[in-house]
Amino acid sequence: MSNCTLCDLAQGKENAKVLYYDEICIAYLKKMPASAGHIVLIPKKHYTIFEQVPDTETSHLFKIASKLSTAAFETFGHGGTNIIVQNGGTAGQKHPHFSIEIIPRNENDGLNFLWQPKQLSEEEMSTTELMLKEAAANIGGFGEGHKKEVIKEKEKEVLKEGDKENYLLKSLRRIP
């Protein structure tokens, strides 16, 4: 992608203190770090936001982020790390290229990633829950096929409980 600083970095066109690279990603020390050892991990291919990154690459990126976090712990004896994805401009994303930041932390380091929790009403919580459940209904094995399998299993349980055929269950089997 043209005009993407991180793509240029991934292609070796920009100078960076590279810590790790493979065919999928590259990790480098951030030029203006939040703390010593602040690492940025990016995919070599251009993806603007997290949702565009294929699942196989996402899995690989987070595995590498975990190993880089471990390296920071073991090398410098940090007390913790923040693994941060700033996804979209309103979330603080500075470049139009997906990245994962690994920020080493020590007690009393002066960094503040805390926010004030909001108190939502019971109605707001219920509405939010319903909307997200609906949106997440087809993630992984929880789509329509999964629901049908659960229904079939329940039908079998009911049929086992009583030896005679249940008319309603028989009707449900005919529905495509």
Does 98 share its domain with 144?
A: no
**Rounded to a whole number, what is the largest CA-CA distance in the chain?**
76
The answer as to whether 72 is a domain residue is yes
Residue % of the chain over a pLDDT of 90: 57
Beta strands in the chain (DSSP E): 18-21, 25-29, 39-43, 80-84, 100-105
Q: How confident is the model at residue 49 (pLDDT cuts 50, 70, 90)?
A: very high
- Domain hosting residue 129, numbered range: 122-174
Question: Does residue 143 register a pLDDT over 50?
Answer: no
Does 97 share its domain with 43?
A: yes
Task: For 96-146, give the DSSP string.
Answer: SS--EEEEEE-TT-------PPP---HHHHHHHHHHHHHHTTTSTT-SHHH
Does 136 share its domain with 75?
A: no
The answer as to whether 114 is a domain residue is no
Whole-number pLDDT of residue 153: 55
Q: How confident is the model at residue 12 (pLDDT cuts 50, 70, 90)?
A: confident
Question: Does residue 7 register a pLDDT over 60?
Answer: yes
Residue 133 Cα to chain centre, angstroms: 17
Question: Does residue 137 register a pLDDT over 70?
Answer: yes
| Average pLDDT rounded to a whole number, residues 145-170 | 52
Does 34 share its domain with 89?
A: yes
Does 82 share its domain with 168?
A: no
Whole-number pLDDT of residue 173: 52
Q: How confident is the model at residue 88 (pLDDT cuts 50, 70, 90)?
A: very high
- In the chain, how many domains are there? 2
Q: Of 73, 105, 137, which marks where a domain is finished?
A: 105
Q: How confident is the model at residue 14 (pLDDT cuts 50, 70, 90)?
A: confident
Question: Does residue 16 register a pLDDT over 70?
Answer: yes
The answer as to whether 112 is a domain residue is no
Kindly state the DSSP code that residue 39 receives in the 8-state scheme: E
Mean pLDDT of the chain: 84
The answer as to whether 115 is a domain residue is no
